[in-house]
Structure 1
Amino acid sequence: MKERIFALDIGTRSVVGMLLEEDAGIYTLIDYEIIEHDERSMLDGQIHDVVAVAQVIMEVKVKLEEKHGQLHKVCVAAAGRSLQTKRIRMQHSIAERGVLDREQVQHLELSAVQQAQYEIARSKDKSTDYYCVGYSVLHYQLDEQEIGSLIDQQGQEASVEIIATFLPKVVVESLLSALKRSDLEMDALTLEPIAAISVLIPPSMRRLNVALVDIGAGTSDIAITNEGTITAYGMVPKAGDEITEAISDHYLLDFHVAEAAKRDWAEIGTITTMDILGFEQQLEAAQVEQDIGHAVDKLAEAIAESIMQLNAVPPKAVMLVGGGSQTPGLAMRLAKRLELPENRVAIRGTEAIQPLAKTDNVPSGPAFITPIGIALAAKQNPVHYVSILVNGRVIRLFDMKRLTIGDALLAAGIQVARLYGKPGAACMITFQGKPLTLPGTLGQAPTIRLNQQTASLDSAIRDGDKLDVEAGVDGLPPQVTVSDITGDLDPITVFYNGRPYQMKQQLLVNGQPVHPNHQLKDRDEIIMQRTTTIEHFLHEQQLPLPALPDDTEYEVYINDKLMSIDSFSQVFTINEIPARLRDQVNDGDSIRISERRSPTASELLSHLQTENQASLTVEFNGKTLKLTPPAAQLYSGDKPLEYDEQIPSGARLQMRVATDQFIIQDIFRFVDIDLTKISGNFQLYKNGNKASFHDFLSPHDKIELTT
C-alpha cells in the first residue's frame, strides 16, 4: 500500500510544501507549493514570528488540500543553525576492571556524551536547554592503540571518541507552536543538514571525506562526512541574501526586485530591471559577476573557513545544494579557496536523489534537495517525542535513533559516572621492606529497573515507560590478612640442650607479633622473621626459663674473699656463646641451659686447689716433676667440713693448708721411691751441690739422688 507523506521546508525566504508517495522504497512527487514570507518572520532559519510563519504554512496547506484532500500530519526539519555538535574523547583506567563488557563500554560512551553536554552548556547561554539528539562513535582505543570494539577486551586504559549532536529546546517548541496554529500535528522531525545529506550521501559513501553545503537565503549549513559517519556540522550566517543585498546596493533595486534579478542572473545569464529612479537596466552575466564578485568572494571565503574549521584539511569533494548554490562563480571561487580542482566542487540537483522517481513534475536544480530530503529523512530516520518517567520526574526525549536507558539518564541530567559505586580505597602496606598496594573491591553497578523489571543502560525505552535508577554501592577497602600476603610459612628448627624443636616463623606488624589471621590496615608494615628471641622460643615450647639473675651465679666466701665459680653457676649459651633471654636465635641455632648447683666440699676443694694453690716444677734424676701442696681442709667456723657435705652458694668458709713451702723431702711424695729401704751410702745433690732432705726448693731446681 502506498503511503502519502506531507513535508514542509520552513525556510528563511519561503515555505515549501511537498506531497510524496512511497512504494517499496521509491518516492514519487505528487505535488508541491511554494509561498514566500511577506515579512522577515524567519531569521537565519529560526522562527521569530510564530503567527506570521503559521499563516504562510496554512496557505501552503490549504492550496495542497484543495487538490489532494485533508492534511493532518507533517514532517518538518529543525534549522541547521540551531544544531550544535561536540567532538569529545573520554578515557578511563580499566586496569582493575578485568574484561570489559557491553555495559561498561556503554558507560564509557555516555560519559563522553555527558562531557560534551557539559561543554556545550558552559559555552552557551545558561538559560537555553540543549538536548542530545544523537551521537556517533568515531574511534575506540585500547592502551592508545585504535581498536574496532572494546567488548571483551582488557588492558590498562580504554578511550572512546564520539561526536554528539545537540538541539535547543526553543527550536522544537517554536516549530510545534507554528504547526499547532496551522492545525497540523508533527509526524516526524529531522535536521536540515541530515535531510540533505541523507538523500545525497548514503551511509556507504560516508567513509569518504565530503562536505555538503546547503546554501539557503539566510544561512549556509555544512555537514562533513568521514570514517563512515557524519563527523561535524556547521553553519555560516551568510547565504543568498548577501548576494541579493549586494545586487540591491549596487544597482539601486528594491530587495524583492533584486531577488528576482539574482534568479535571472543565475538562470538566463542576463538581468533586465528598473531601478528605484525609474531607469531600466540590462546587464550581461559577465558584467554582473564583475560588479558583484566581491560579495560572492566573501560568501565563498566564509564557507571555506567554516569547512576548514570543521575538517582541519580540505575535504576530498564539496557538494552544493540549496537555491543560493546557483550563484554564478560561487563553486569556482570555493574550489579556489579550498585549493581543490574545480570538478571537485559541484552543484547537485534533484536528479541525484536515487530513491526519487524521475517524473515530469519533479522540479530540477539544487533548491529542492532539502525539501525532498526532509520527506525522505523524516520517514527513514524520524525524530519523535518520547515521554518517560525517570525517578518520578517526566522527561521528554527526541527519538532520533533507538533510544536507550542511557539516553534517558542524559536527558534527565543524571551523571552516569556517579551512578557506579566508587572502588574501595586501596591500602598501601610494606612487606619485608618493599611497598605493596592492596586494591579495594570494585564498586557495584547501579540498580536499574524499567517498568519494574531489571534492565541495563542499553535497554530500549518507549513512550510512557517508567524508569527507576538507584546508584551502586561503593566498594570496600581490601579485607586482607597477614597470611594472605605471606602464604604458608616453613617452620624454623632450634636445638635445645641437643634436642631439635620446630616453631613457626614470627610475624610482626608494625613491630608487634600478630596471628596469621590478623587483618591488615593502610600503612601497616609486615616483617616475616626467621629469627626469634630465646625468651619467645622457650615460652612457645613451654620450656623452663633460666633462673633469675640472683640465682645464676655460684658464689662462696673463702677466707673472707668472695669467689664466683663458673663451674657450678648456671650455663646459658647460643652456639656455645654466653647469651641473654632477649638475644636472637636463628634457624639451626643450638641453645644450652644447665642449672646452678651446690658442690660438695671435696668438689669445691678440688676446684679451689686447681684454681688457686701454688705449684713448683723441679727436675729429679733427670725427670721433670710438678709439686703441689698437700690437700687443704675446709672449715665452717671451727668445724671441719666432711668431703661429701654440700656447700650452698653464699657460704662463708675458711681453707687451711699446712704450708706453701717445698723441701727436698716433698719430692718423694711424687716419685715411687721408698726411703726406708735405702741403705748404705747415698748422696743427695741440689743443683750439683750436696744437700739434705730439709733444704728448701726453688723453681726449676735439679735434684739428684745417688746410691
Structure 2
Amino acid sequence: MEGVKEKQGQLVFGLDIGTRSIVGTVGYLNGGKFHVLAQRSKEHETRAMLDGQIHDIGKVGETISQVKEQLEADLGRELTEVCIAAAGRVLRTVTTYVEHSFESDREITQEDVYSLCTMGVEKAYEEFQNSNTDTDMKFYCVGYTAMRYYMNGYQMGNLEGHKAKNIAVDLIATFLPDDVVDGLYKAVELAGLHVANLTLEPIAAIQVAIPEKFRMLNMALVDVGAGTSDISITKEGTITAYGMIPVAGDSLTDILVQHCLVEFEVAEQIKRKCRTQETIEYEDIMGLPQTIKASEVLELLDPEIERMTQLVSDTIKELNGDKPVSAVFVVGGGGMVPGYTEKLAEKLGIVKERVAIRGQEVMQTITFELENARKDAMMVTPIGICLSYYVQSNNFIFVEFNGERVKLYDNGKLSVTDAAMQMQFPNDQLFPRKGEALLFTVNGKTRMVRGEQGEAAVIRVNGDEADMYTQVHNGDRIVVTPSTEGEPAVLELGKLSELGDALQVYVNGKQISLPKTAEVNGHRENEFYRIGQNDDIRIRNSYTVKEIAEFLDVPLGADIRVNDTAAQPDTRVYEHFTVSWDMKNPLPEGSYADLPDADTEEDAYREEPVYGEGPVMQKAEAVAGEAAMTQGTETAAENGTASVTTQGTSGKQDEKYESVEQTAQSQSVSPQGPHPLTVIVNHSPITMQGKASYVFVDVFDYIDFDLGSSASAGRSIVTNLNGRPAQFMEPLKEGDVIEIYWKSMH
C-alpha cells in the first residue's frame, strides 16, 4: 500500500462501510501494536444501504470519496488501496480439513502456511458449490479462519519455523452472495480505490474485541450495527463459527420514525440521545417543535429489543451446539441502546454481568496518535478491518476476458486458465482440434485415419503473446481467439499400403508383377476412389491362373501346373507362386470362359501381415506393459484409436485398430532425411534428433522417467498429448505439449 514512513510499518487504510455510516481508519503495525494515525467518519445522507447491503452504489461511492479525501488531507498523502469488510443477509459457512505432505522433513515457512490455507479455501468453495446446487445465486468466499493447525498429525498452535513432513489445517470459510461483494467493490472503485483485502465484519471485529488469550473460553462476539447483527463464537483457543442476522439498530430507528412522525435522521438522533438525556427535543415533519422523555422512547423500543435479542440468542445457541455461551462481548452502535445487554443475558440464561459492551477497554494494543480519538465500541470493527490485512490476504481481482469483466478469487497463482474456467470458455476451443477421423475396415479389420490437426488458440494478455499458464493480475485484458478444427481425414483407395505393392509370381520361368485390386462394399473400385466412413474394403491377394493369362493377354495352354502341381484354370495363385502351362498347346477358345469368378470367393482374400516390429514397438510395449500392470486395464486410444493390452510380461499385442499412418511410416523413409524436433515435456522443452519422423514413445529416450515396478507401486501412468490421452505410436509435431507423470490410484 501507499505511504511508508521511516521507522513505521506499512500503512493500512481500513474502511467500515456500514448501513448508517462509513468509518475510515489509517494506521500501521509496529512492535505488536497498531498505531492509528487518522480516523474519519460520515453518515449516509440517504438510505443508500439497507441490512448491510448497498442499494445505491453511486451514493455510497460518493460518501467513500468524501471520507477518503478527509483522511488524505489529515495524512498529507494519497490513498490508493483499502481494506474492507462485508456484511449481508445471506451468510453461509463451510468447515473443512486439508493437508499437504512434503517429500521429506523441511522447515515450514510463512508461504507454506499461506498455501495450506489457500488449499483449504479452494476445497471449502468446492464443497460449498457441491452442496448448494439448488440455488442460482453465485457466492464468493469473503473470509476464512484457521481453527486448528496440525504438524505430522499433532495439533500445533503455529506451524511456521517447525520442521515437518506433513501439515494440515481445520478451516472455516465464509461465503456471501455475489451481489453483496460486487456492490462493495464497485462503490470502492468509484472512489478511486483498489481493494487490498476483503474480510467479513465479525472476523474483523474479533481481531480487537476478543484477543487470543480469551479464546480458550466459550464466548460470543455480537457486532450490532445499523442493518445487521454479526456473530462469532470462540472455544478452545479458536473461532468455531460465524453467523449473521438482518436485524439491528435501524429496526429501532424505524419505530421512532413512525411514532414521532420525523425523518429517519431525526429519529436516529432521538435514539442516541435517550442514552444521555432525560428529555429529548425535536421537530416533526410539520415543522412543529416536540419533546419526548427517554423513558417513553425506551418503552416504545422495548418490544423490538426483545425480538432482536431473542434472534441473537437463538443464533448464538445454534452456532454453539444448541447451548448458551459463557459470556458475550457486544460492539457496534446498535448494541449501545439501554436495555440491550440485559435482555440478551436474560434470553441466553446467563448473569447480566457476563454480557457487556466492549470499547476502549479492549484497545490495550492500540495506540492513537491523534487528538480527540474516538475509542468506543463503534471503532472496534474499523480497526479490526485494518488488523485483518496482516492476518490474511483475501482478495478478488477483476480481469477482462474477451471483452467481458470477470471476477477471480486471488490465490496468488491465477493464470489464463482460471479466467477461462470462470467464464466457462469451452475447453475444446483452447486446444487445437483434429478434423473428423475416417473409420473403415480392410479385410474385416478396423482401420482409422486421423483428421488434420487444427490451429491452437491464440492468447494475448494486454496485447502480448501468452499461453494458458501465463499469470494474470488485476486489470489485465485477456483476448483468446478460439482454436480451429483441422480438415477431416481423406484417403484414396490407392494409398492403402496393401495396394502399393504388386503381387510377384513366376509364369513360365519369368517374374511377373500383378497389381492388387480391391472391392469396396461389394463393388470393385479404382485406385482414385475416396474412401468413405465405414466402408468395407476387401483386398485381393491372389489371382486365378485364368486371370493371369487374361492380364498377360496370352492364351492359356494345357498341362497347367502351380508350384509344380497339376492345376486348373480356376486354381488360385498367391505371392511367389510359380505357374506354367504348355504355350504350344493352347486350350480351345471359350473352354474356360464360364468358370466361377474368383472375385466372389472368400479365399481370394488373405489376412494382412502384422506391422509394428522393431525397437520402437518394443519400447511402446514396455511402457504399455507398465501401464497395464499398474492400472489393470487397457490403454485405450481416444475416439477409438489404437489400443494395446499386455498379457503378463509376454509383450503380446491385441491391436483393435491399426493406424494407416503408422503402417505407411514403417515402410517408407522420409525424403527429407533425419531432422531435429522440439516438443514441450512437463513444461520443459526437449529436442529429439537423428530421425526423419518421431512418435510419442520416442520421448522416453530423452527424459528421466522411472518405469520400474518400484516407481509404479500404487500408481498409474498418465500420458497426455496437447491436453488429451496420447497413443504410444502417435506421430509428433513441432511444438507439441506433452505431460507424463505417475498418478495415485487411491
Provide the TM-score with structure 1 as the length reference: 0.50
Bigger CA radius of gyration:
1
